[in-house]
Structure 1
């Protein structure tokens, strides 16, 4: 079989390099993802971008508010960035950088030496907390914050 032939029914197998796939994904994703009829009209496209920006900003602000309050703050912030990334190249680049850094951190966390170190540090921390709780209970005993009298 010749890979250059174009005979009907011939199966051509190609070896795909992972770097080529990543390069194709990098080239493919940049730019506006607005529908074509929106892109074709300048005023409509600018209005679309303003709407995407306002919605993304609202989601990011909600995430920032959730950081000190109960709620998935960082997840919501990255959700707002993903909304922005549908329209703005700078947000797409920030999300790619973030994905790369999170992937690197996950790979480092799965390293056996790092996992062993984290387990040792967690064990030491638990022993210290246990000793402190034991000292407190030995010195003060178990005291309830309310007074209940036997009836």
Structure 2
């Protein structure tokens, strides 16, 4: 395991090359609270810190859920709220790790040459069908809008 010294005199794990893909993977952070040390030192202060983090995270997640039906980046805001919760709660850190792993797997699968070729073929087929439907519409009705057709 490689480690480098940081300015505090401790050691920080260094990313190592992935043996399968050959790329560099990030070491996973340790689970637990990331509150400052002076807050962790006092139990009542740490508990009130956690309540505040939970309330802010809940407000952000609620806004994200509302954005699923309203205009806005709903999923992005929901994951932002989860990231806020992950600064204090282990369960949120585990959910974010699982989500990051699944997104990485999906991205690698999407870059697979067979999957890319299939997606390109399906996209071209869909565009040909849409172009044919537009051509039939223009041949039958001309350049009139659908709500102005009197047939």
Please tell me whether residue 96 in structure 1 is matched to residue 97 in structure 2: yes
Residue 134 of structure 1 deviates from its aligned partner by 1.1
User: For residues 129 and 67 of structure 1, what CA distance do their matches in structure 2 show?
Assistant: 28
- Tell me, what secondary structure is at the counterpart of 1:131? helix
Scaled by the length of structure 1, the TM-score of the pair is 0.78
* Partner SS for 1:25: coil
TM-score (norm 2): 0.78
| Structure 2 gap ranges (5+) | 1-14, 19-23
What is the DSSP-based 3-state SS (H/G/I as helix, E as strand, rest coil) of the residue aligned with 2:69?
coil
Please provide the CA RMSD for this pair.
Answer: 2.2
Displacement over 6 Å in runs of 4+: none
Is the alpha carbon distance of 1:146 and 1:107 closer, same or farther for their aligned partners in structure 2, counting shifts above 3 Å? closer
* Residue 63 of structure 1: aligned partner: 64
Larger radius of gyration between Structure 1 and Structure 2: 1
Higher RCO (CA-CA < 8 Å; seq separation 6+): 1
The superposition leaves residues 9-60 of structure 1 with CA deviations (integer Å, 9 ceiling, x where unpaired) of xxxxxxx8557x97x933x420000111111111111110010001001111
> What is the total number of aligned residue pairs between the two structures?
129
C-alpha change, 1:140 and 1:146, in structure 2 (3 Å) is: closer
